[in-house]
Amino acid sequence: MKTERAREMLFTEFKDSVNHEPGNGLDAVLEYQDIMGTSSMRGIREFENTLEKGYEKRHFVWVNMLTLSEESAMNILKGTVILREREMIYDQFDRDCQERETALFKSNNIFTDCKKAIYRKIRSLTNKILELQWKADYWKERAETAEYSVNKLQRINYRNAQDAEKYHAIKELLG
């Protein structure tokens, strides 16, 4: 693509207006159409990318709409501005998806770690409960054994007290 000539035409001959009158501007329009018509879409896209954002890019679209056929102007618009905007939107969408996926992955990892910690705590508490139940059963058995021993000792003590009364009663009778 003849980028220098296209740039020169955009910002000198078509700076303020596009004139289609023979002899006053039609030759420039035809030359611009020839440059754009013989250039590949890739070349046009590269040329459009060299333009500064804002005024120069808008001016490029404006001149194309006034000098080229509607179909050609739309094809160039689709191949440059719309394609670039679509790529930017897709890139932004991909970045957003990656950020969300990363955040989801992090929150999933946090959830998994918390779940593991909770299960460890549950397992620890279950073991503690089983240990305490075993100790409770042990002490309950010991308490029952102690209660049986106390009852047995109380009966023995009661019999001994009765025997002692009989002994004192016999001793007084004999004595």
Residue 53 domain flag: yes
For residue 20, the model assigns a pLDDT of 67
Dig out the tokens for 121 from the structure.
């705590």
Q: In total, how many domains does the chain have?
A: 1
Q: Is residue 145 part of a domain?
A: no
For residue 1, what pLDDT is reported?
59
Residues 32/63, Cβ–Cβ less than 8 Å: yes
Q: Which residues of the chain are modeled with pLDDT < 70?
A: 1, 16-17, 19-21, 23-24
**pTM surpassing 0.75?**
no
Residue 43 lies in a domain: yes
What is the predicted pLDDT for the residue at 6?
Answer: 79
Asked if the structure places residue 161 within a domain, the reply is: no
DSSP 52: P
Output Rg (C-alpha) for the chain, integer angstroms.
Answer: 51
Does residue 25 lie within any of the structural domains?
yes
Q: What is the pLDDT of residue 99?
A: 95
For residue 35, what are its two tokens?
């440059």
**How far apart, in whole angstroms, are the C-alpha atoms of residue 35 and residue 12?**
16
Per-residue pLDDT at 52: 81
**What is the extent of the structural domain holding 27?**
3-68
Residue 128 belongs to a domain: no
Sign of CA dihedral 143, 144, 145, 146: positive
Flag whether 54 is in a domain.
yes
> For the chain, first and last CA: distance in Å?
148
Is residue 40 included in any domain, yes or no? yes
